[in-house]
Structure formats: structure tokens, C-alpha cells
A and B are shown apart, each in its own frame.
Chain A
């Protein structure tokens, strides 16, 4: 306050001069408007100099008003601070409550039920102390198990103190303490851990079993608090090997870990509800199945006629999460429907969407990605978005399969692998069901970013012959829903009317954990940045679509193919068990677009690179179908179905006439060069030569004449 005044006094001479003019103006204004002097102070608040000569008074009033304003602000802030502080404290206090679902109590409250059980508290203490001392869960189980046994009479109440005594904070909030009677139905709903519960009395094994299962893992409190409701999947508190994501890379890693570390306990956490499955058949084989119930069975025919499911393993392969710790030889458990939302690297633990926590020794992030969408579709409103499929998962396949039977026209936006494969798969239906299939993309031809232009054009013609209406160089400007049809307006003015959209415009890698885990995200390729051994940080590896890794041969890259998921998953699993091997075995990929076009590829296959293609004239022998039948290898989308449907093109006596005479790229090898070194190879309708291609890329040599290199492939042979 004093400072204000002194400052003001100092400034007063300066302001006087400037205020003279204002004073005169306002005096005139005041006199003109005949305002009462009482209103003048208000005008002063708006920093206008007052009329009249009571300058000191005016200054005092000004200063006073400023100080009053300041005081009001300060008071409000302090008051608000206090409120905020109280809110924060409440939030912190209530956080332990939320640590397990349906937990009304906190640490404090679990102790209160303990106190009534006075005689058991002392007995419970050694149990309480013993249990947290055991770092190993399996050791804890027997410890805890033995303790409650002698305390059989009050065992119901002694169990609860044992339960909260577990080192995991989540179990602490177990309200079995308050609801001992509910323990029986709880245990009934859970599969009783087989070997370790000695079935003495009816209540004892139940409570012992309950304790064991609580000791070994954490049965979520939900089953305890809601005995009549079915028990949700318990979340184990610790997993030696934790794999985040339940796709191909994760499964490959699980297998690798189990192979190398005997008795390993592997926990896969996935936000999908399905067990691990493979993706390629979702856009290929499943569409060509004759089985009308294919959307339920999800089985497809392989090359050898044998059927298999898209699931890597049936459910009996897996151990249930609550039994993981007790399984004698370990196993792989899958926790479905749970998303990891936070990762604490220093504490070696993760937090799930339901706020339960899992600690780990080694962790793999294999979260894959989510399909990208076009902004014009997102902004187009609900009528459009509900008619749009972003194709990635099993559910998307089921939904699209159903929709494709009900509508007249479907449009696929995107000309890459997924878009082209779906277009061909649906195009095949177009002849059967009268479905109009449109495919549109900004490139000049299918696989425009992968294949050199001449080959891309050739491929586009093949796709068209599958019954697809292809619109190239199509940039979608606007999408709307009018007249019961989805209207797609292109930049060049064309309009496409359709019933359903499929957006196949790329994959956005899922890197939500980067922030909490402190992991680097690559700005060029996306995904988590890892080294050549697929390691991101200590005890954290990343594999599959989400991994931007350093390839010793080809440089840093991120690959979104099935075989890469397998190779990288396996490598990550090896490294998690101490192998320290870099990414060395080059993964490959393949695609079939109809019965006549099939290729395998390896390395960097980018159409912007200079290419050298060496082709032979193709005969009817050189189709994916024929190749599969002859060599008996390979999973070819059409092979078995075509062979079954028509009298098979006898592989032993093919019709000798070649396909076409003009520039026909029937079969050959295409080399992709970077600084004169072959970095990528496509085997075009030439099969079973991938090892040679892999070797050439591995060598990384400059070859003067690539025709000579092409000779190694014997493209004319079969």
C-alpha cells in the first residue's frame, strides 16, 4: 500500500501534465452532461482523469481502488488455493480406493475389520510379515498357505489380514475382510488352484484356496463384492514376462520365451477380446471359403487342403491368468479386454485401464497399431461413419462380411496391400452376388508405392479383371450421405455413390505408452524407437508393427508385415531370455491379387527407388495356383478353392501356350537398388526362391550386372 502511494506521488507530476488535457475534456463532458460528482469516481476507475481540482483526493481514491482490487484478488487466490489443496488431498486419499475395482475401503479401512478379530491379529501379524518378505509369488503361496491352516477356527477373519498384507497394494483393498461369508461363492466361481489346496474342511480349503489365489495372484475384488455376478478375469500382480499386446509379434515372443526359458511364465495383456490370431487370412483366405459359417468358425483351407483356424492356438494351449503363477511348468496366459494405460519403467510395472497394476521383470511392447482414417470421413457425420469400416480385426472382418451380403455397392479407399486384397476378395463376390466393388486411390495404379510403374499398371489391369471398378488418381474431397447413398466427391469433380466404405489408408502405430514410459518415438517412421536388438530401454523390448528398429543391413525402418511380426517377435523373445541378437534374419512378405498375380518380396520395396526387372515369358504353369500345387508349399489364396471348384489345372501337364505375347510380365525378379546395392527384391510369380533373395540382400554387395544375379533364381524353371 505504501509503495503504491509513494510511487503514485512520484508519478503524479508526470501524470499531471498528461492528465491536464483529459481533465479539461472530462470537465467539459461532465458539465455538459450534468453528471453528479458522485459518478466521477466510477469514471476514474476506467483510468480517465477526473474533473475538478481535487487531485490528491482523486489520487487517494485511485490508489485505494487499486489496492482494494488487489486485495480481493489475493483473497480469492488464497481461498482457491486452499480449496485446491483440499481437493488434492481427497484425491490422493481416494486413490487407493480405486486401485482395484469395486473397492470401497483403503488400507486404513482394511485394518479396521482386522481389529475386531483381536485374537487373530497377533497370529495374523507373522503371516502379514512373512508374506511381503517373500518376493517370489510361488514361495509366498506355500507360506501363506501354511499359516492359515493352524488358525482354522478364526480362519475366516485371519484370511483378510493375510490378503491385505500382500506386497501388492491392490490386494490390500480386498474387502473379503468385511465379507467372509462371500468367500465361498468367490472361490466357487474361480477355478480352485488344483494341487496346493489341501481339502481339509469345507471352509478351510475355500479360504485357504482363496488366500492362495490371492497370494499368488490378485483375484479382483469384484468377485468378492458381487458373489452372484460372474467373476471377471483376475489380474495377476506380477508376471516375469509381460507382453503388452496380443497379436502375432506377441505370440511369437511368447513361444520363443517358452522355448528358451523352461518353465517360463508369460502373461499377454491385450485390449481385444480374442486370443492371438493371424491377420493375413482376414483379407484373403477367409473370403474365399465355401463355408457359410466362416465368420463364426474362422477357419480356412491351407495349401494342403487341411483346414486351420486363424487362432494360433486353441484356448486349451493357454493357462488362465490366475493359475499362471502356480502352473508347474509355467505357461502362457492371456488377459483379454484389458488395456495398459500407464507404464512405470523405474518401478517395473504397468497400470491397466481398470487401475490394477502388474509388475514385471521383462516387458515386451507389441501394441501394433490402429487403422488410419481420412479426415473427410471423420468429419462427414454419423451417417457416413457408421457406414465406414476401418479394417483390422476379426470383428471388422465379421462386420464387413455381413454388410457385403446386404448392400449393392461398396467402395474401398486405398490402393495398397489391404485395399487391393480386399478389392479382389470382394470383387470375386461381385460376380456371384451382383455387388458393385469400387476401389479408389490417389496413385496411378494398384500397389503404386511398392511396384514400379509398369508393373503397377499391369497389376491394376488384373484387379479390374477381378470385377473391380478401379478409379485411379482419386483424391477424396468430400464425403456425405444423401438420398440413402454415401456420396464421395473427388477433387476432379467425379462423384461416386455407394452404400458402404472401407478405408484402407494405412496404419497408425500405437505409441500411447511412450509418454508414461519415457520411450522415444520415431518421427520419420512412427513407432517406438528401438535398437538393433529391439530394445527400447532396460527390460523393455518392442516388436511388430509398432517397432521402429535399426536393421544392420538396411538401416532404420518400421515394417508392417506378418512375417516381420513373427521374426521380430521371436527375436525379442530370444533377447528377453538373454540372447542379445540383432535383427539379422530378413523378413519377407507376400501378396496375392487374384489367381494370376502373386509375388513374394523381401527388404525395402519402395517404388521410388530405381529398379531393374528381369522377366521371362510366362506359361500357364507360372501362376500362384499352379506353383502351390506343384511344390506343395505356400498358402495361396485361390489355390485350393480354385482347384476344388474346377477341374484342376493339372500341374504335371500344363497347356504349353504362353499367356500373352506383348509386354507380359508373367514372371521374373525385380531388384530395388539404393546406391547400386540391392536392398529389396520382388519375386514375381516365382516361388520357393526366397533364400536366394535373402542371401543377396544380406551380402549387400554391388553387382555390376543384375542379369547375372537374376540367373541365380532360375526363373525359367519351376
Chain B
């Protein structure tokens, strides 16, 4: 009874009440019947007093004690019988009752009538170990021995009741074994003999002695097969069937002498042990193996319990018609199967069984890890073992059900523990990983105080190290840290942000923070009145907003406006109070965040709309470098927008930018130079830089050539500033060109682009051309022509072209094959490069010795340049026209380009309204008329009439070129007629009045040609034309 009460009976979850379950009902009913009949069956033992009385709260009253062996007084009652110390053996003082012997227990139950069950229930609930109370802690004395054995029998009986649900679960049951053995006995052709070791059957169907039953043993078998030499000694256990090494009848105490593997049933074991049996079984299509054994056991069990007496019948059916049998039993059995499994999960006894077996079976496998896993393990075993037969029945050739059983259970275990185990595998993980994992675990369940301690400890790790950063992410730390930002506790917020700020320098962390919605929370934290928190949030935003999606998130959640608000402080009072200093720090962090955000165009606009520009301008007055860097950084980032460039100029920021060019911080200098670089496209800004004496510091910065970023920004600023001639003069004064020429070698491209650009701009002043030559700049420039960077090529061609205007430079360029390099750049896909190269070619042809010969030597060169007249780019067309004009000065080359169809192509372009193109086109036409019938061809191609209209242009340069072209064209009479028809004379007469001598001459010559034609015509015909012409000329003059 002791064992059953403590183990088998189901207690409620809180552990102090008996659960109202069918099993408990069964057990308690058994105890009730036992106790009630005890006095009658064992009168002698019934009077033995208990060592300690059983005490409980009864529902009985004194009035219930009607028997004359009790004495009732008021509400209480005592038995007349007393023990040797004079205490009554039963004493009732409601609601407590004390009982000292079975005699009185029996009597009490008899008196209780319909409350019997209630009494037993109440008694056992408070007396968990009645055996101990009855016999005391010491072993029973001899005269109590009989009582002990009686109680032991009861215990066994109870146990069998408790065991019943377990066997229903699909483990081996005595009934199942019995059926199987019966079956095997009938199949005597395959087996020589099948015997039980014991013929005695206990009431629960087991044949093994009770102490072995405790281990789950059902019975032992001796089987002789046809082929295996020694007789097989088999033990059937609830967990399966296995071979015994030896068997000495009942004397074997050691149940763990298991030798072979455990199989799900006897047939499977035999198949594995005896090839003959296996063959025969397969051949005969052995009935057993076709029936999923679990179902079979199940249905046997149900029959056994519900329909005792029909067992045999069911097996008669089974042999003949298995499917029918299944159908016959199906409905009931299915339900039965599911029901008990619910309750025996909590069953103490099962875990007892389980652990025992488990230990035996797994002792060699591995030491079991105690702790939380064991709970899971049990569950896993249960689910794994619930239907082992079903799992293995499909694969009858497999090693056996028991294997499957253990396999499946261990698999389940693995599933349960997988995350843990998997995490254990990589042994190369640093110890920090595990420490961080532990700390993050604590964070999840800590209150504010412990959270702060853990956060501070987490900060002690080297958070710059990627392993730590990723460890925090991998163990789910980012989720916790971001969650902490949502709490009200400021210290937790601060601690969390301090970590996030550090680790967000890692791009993977940044993305995870953004993914987890951290930016939204941080943006809302910016509203806090706590300045330290504001700073941390802004700094972390600055780190996270390094990629586009994050920047967009900041804007969308109103972050830009809040960040701009942070900028509002007075940065430059002479002495700052502590509070003002904190404000300045907030502003600095705000600027840092804005700097990151300002890499998106829409954020730049948002900053401006939020009123950021004046605030930035005010902060620019600060003297703190850590403040200035993010402020200027933001400004130079935003200076890509015209609105900012204007604002930088009008808000007077140029002065501050120039001032900071002379500071001692290279990063700040770089940002200032970069801002000037971007802003100096504007002429007024360039002038301002000069007025604030910004050019000299820029030149000084050229000496810090080792800092390439700084150098790129500085040379950029110099380039843009040198667009103004006044600035070039200054640069000359500071001897900037010599330094720039020195920077033409071994520099990154972004520096070279700016240096070459600056040289190109400086070359506007002819003195500088000599300077470039003298300081050895031509050779590196020409060398750069063979590069590929288009921005660089545009600038280099321009610079080389500028150099070529100096007659002394040209031989050097020629010697270095510069013209050929330029010419080959006409093939560059970029129109900018094409145009720039063509422009550069012009002075080269003009200044080179034997230019015609040189040009002819470029194989396919002339065809190439003529074909560029098909370009869509106005600048390319203008530049090519200019080059053709130069080329056409050489008659031989003119002949070649005429052959390539230059005339109709030029004529095609004449309808343009672009003055620049008009000018060079007219020049080209003028030059091309010199050859053969080109002059006539232009007229035929319709080029004359549009040219006449060029004279309406406002550009005097167009007038000059056009007049020259018309003069050339007027050598053909038909062209003269066309010109006259288009009213050219009136226009040319105006041109003759120009101060430009070339224009005057060309216009007059053209008019003369027309006049000549008219005279000739007059002579021939005396026609109207002459008359008309004269009137016009006289009138105009």
C-alpha cells in the first residue's frame, strides 16, 4: 500500500489532493473493500495497534457512532478499548478523528455507510505513507509480520491496478504475451517447443515473481527452435522481449542481465535469432506479422478488460480472417486507446518504471543529464514508446521493433534538445559568446536593477570586436536591447543605448536594428527631456542611418525634424555653464545624426524645411572641433543641392568655412574644402573665398599630400576657385601651379581630376602655360591622355589643349605623340570626351609644324572626325566643326574630307539655332569652300539661305564667321542669287559698318562679289538686276 499510495495514486497538480480520476477510484475502492473486510478476515491482525495513529478530518459525527463499543459525549466520541498507555484506540473530536487499529478502521467504515469512500479519500489524502504509520520507521516485529504480509498483498494488488493503464499504452502486456505464446505453440512446425518457466499465473496475468514484476517483467520463456543450437531463454518485459544469457529458474535476482537487444515481441526476436523461423514465417505469411502488433495488443487489452471471456473467440477469428477481426474490434478499441494515455502522463509509477528501465538500457549509452531535460526526456520516451509496434510493423525485415522503439525515442529527445545541442557543437566559439549568451538570458528576466548591472557588464566586453557584436545578435540580444528602449526606465534606456551605439558600427547589426524597428523607438526617445538619453539616441541613429532604408525610416518617423530641434543651442558663449555644455553636446549628437541622414537627397530637403540651415550656420560659429566636424560634414553633404549652396553663401557661412580651413584638424579641413569645392561653382562664392583670404590656406593644404581625402577636397576647391581669373592671379602669387604640377604623378584619380582641372583653368592666363612647361607638367599631362576615367580625360584634354596654344609647348606635345592620343579620344564613347578632345585638337593643328602631314599620318583619322558630324551633341558638333575648319586649311586634307562627304554633312547642320555651333559651322563651311566644287555643292545642298539668317544673330563672333562663309560662297553666282533672294545685302551692309575689321572685309567682299555678278549680268542683259542693286547700295549708303 505504501508504494502504491506514494507512487501510483494520482495527486493533483498542487500535490496535496487526490485527483478524481478513474485510476484513483479503482485503487481506493480496492483499499476500501480491503479495509472493510479486514476485521472479518484477519481478526487477530486487526487488533494490532498502529505505531502511530492515522489522523484525518472526518465528516462523521458522534451520532454516527451507534455501536456500543463507542462512548459518545456531546460532539466527541471515543472507543471503550484503549491501548496499553490508556489511550482510546479511536477518538473523535470533530472534525478530527484518530484511529489506532484496523479493527476500528473496519468498524468506522462500516458505520460510515454511504460516506465510506469519502472517509478513505480523506484519510489517504493526509496520510501519504500509511505503512510507515502502521509499522513505524523500524522493520516490523515478528508478531506484526502477518499483518505486513497481508498489507503487502494488498499493495501488489493495487499495483496491478495501477499498472493496467500502462500496459494499455501499447507496451507488452501479459495478455499480449499470452496470446503470442499460444499462437507460437500452435505453430509447432516452425518451433520445436515453447514453454513458460513457471506455470503459476498471478492475478494480473504475469508469471514472473512479484519483485521481478516490479521491474516490468511479465514472464520468462524457454523456446527451442529448429536451427539455433542452445535453447533460447527469453524474458518478456513490458518494455519488450530479450534473450537471457542464462536462466536458473527463480533464483535469478539480477534483472539487468539483459544480453541481447530488446525486441518488440517474441516473433520479431525469433526472426532475428532463427533464420529458419524467419523463412518459415515469411513463407506462411504469419498471421501475427500482418497484424500491427500494437493494435493487436490494444484490442486484446480492451477485450480483456471489457469483454472478459471473449478473448479466445477473438483469436479464433484472427487466425482465419484478420481483416474481419480488425473491423470487428475497431470502433471500441480506437477510443480506448486514446483515453488512458491522457492520465498516465502524470503517473508517478510510470516514471518509476521508466527510469528503472532507462537506467538499465542506457547505462552504456551515455550518462543522463539531470535537470530540465529529464522532464522532456520522459515525455519523449512516452510518445516514442506509445506505438512502437506500429512504427516497425511496416518493415518486418528490419532489426526489430525494440530497436525502432529506442531509436524513435532518442530521436524525439534530439528534437527536444536540438537547439541546445547544436549550440554546443561549434567548439571554436570564443568564451565571450557563452558569457554574452548568459547575460542576455538574464536580461530577459531581470528587473530594472539587475538589468542595469547586466548592461554595464555587457559593456565591459570588447564591443568593437565583431565576435562580440555578432554574439549579441545571435543570442537574441538586439531584441532585448531594443525592447529595453521601450521601457520607462531611463537607466535601462541609457544602458541599452550605450551598447547599441557601440555595436551599431557593424553593418549587420545596423540592419538588424532597423529590421527590429529600433529606429522608430530611438526617434521617439529624442523627445525625452533627459539630455544624456537624447545624445545617445542621436548618436546611435547616426551609426545606424548609414544605409538608405534606415535613413528613409528616420525621415518617415519624423526623425529629421526632431534631430534639427536638437541643434538649437548657443554654441559660442565664452564660458559655458554645465547645462549649456550639455546642450552643446546634444546639438553635436544631433548634427552627427543629421550628417548620416543627409546622404539622402530627400533628407537634405527635409533638413532645410525643418529650418536646419540657420541652426547649422549658428553652430558653424562654434570653436569645438567635435561640433564643427559633423556640422560642416552635413553642410558639405547638402551642398550638392543648389538651395544649400545659395544658403551657404547668403547665410555668411563661407567666412566660417574659410576660417576653419586653417584649423589643425584635417577632417574638419577636408569637410570645409569639400564644401567650398561644391559651392565655388558660383562666381560670387568664389569671390567670397578670395575676399576672406581662403585661397592661401587652400594652397597651404596642398602640402598635406599624404591625406588623400583632404588633398582631393583641397584640389577640388582650388579647381573651382580658379575658374575666376582674379583667383588664378592669386594662385600664381602663391605659386600654386608648381605644386599642382607636382601632384600630377602617383595620385588617386579623384585628386588627378581636380589637379588637372585646376591646371586647365589656370592655363587661361598665358603666363601659366610657360609655368606648366617649366615645371615639367606637359609630359605627365600627355601621359594622362591614355587613361580611362572620363572625368579625368575631359579635364586632361582641356589642359593639353590649353597648353597647345603656347607655340613653345606644342613641339613637346607633338614629340610625346599627344595629338595622336587626342585624336584617338575622338573614339571615346563619352560625348564630353569627344568634344573636349576635338577642341584640344584645334590649337594643336594650328600650332604644330607640318600639321597637314601630321594629320594625314593618322590612318582613318579624317574619316573618323568627319563622321562625328553625325553626333547629336551640340558641343561635339561645334568642336568637330572647329577642328574641320583647322584641318581644311591644308588643301590635301580638305580634298580627303571632301571625299568623305563633309560638304553635305555640314550643310545638314545649318538649320541650327545654337550660336556656338553656328559660329564654328560657318567657319568650317568657309574653309571647306576652298576645294573643287565644294562651293557649288554647299549651294546645292541648301546651306546658303540658313547662313544668311545667321546674320540676324546677336553674337558678333557668329557674324564674323558667317560673313566669311558668305564671302566664300558668293564666289558662285547661284549662291549670290540665293543670298540676294534672302535679303543678304541689307544685312551685309550693316556688317560693313562693324568695328571688326575681318567682319567688315568679309562682308564688303561678299557684297562686291554680288555686285560683280550683277554688273556682269547687266552687261549681258542690261536687266533689272543692276538697276536694282545700285538703288539699294545708294540708298543704304
Decide whether A and B assemble into one complex: no
Report which A residues bind B (CB closer than 8 A). none
